[in-house]
Structure 1
């Protein structure tokens, strides 16, 4: 199960209202795209992935 799926499953609870869950899922997806774009640029430049 993905992070976005878990956020959707938890949505509507007292700890995670629907609007907050939607915002968190959106932010997570944007950050994942940004991360992937950065990694693709590293590959194009011949730089290996960082392991930490």
Structure 2
């Protein structure tokens, strides 16, 4: 697949903390945990195709 790499998703420190807390929670629905992980990976600059 060609093209430019996606820019990292900008997150504030508070947003990152909230997402990290969601990924560790055992009371949050699994779908929300997966979405939080995807957002964290995107903010770290991981390519969409790898996510």
- TM bin, normalised by shorter chain, reads 0.3 to 0.5
TM-score, normalised via structure 2 length: 0.35
Structure richer in helix, relative to its length? 1
Q: Which structure carries more relative contact order (alpha carbon 8 Å, separation 6+)?
A: 2
TM-score, normalised via structure 1 length: 0.35
Larger Rg: 1
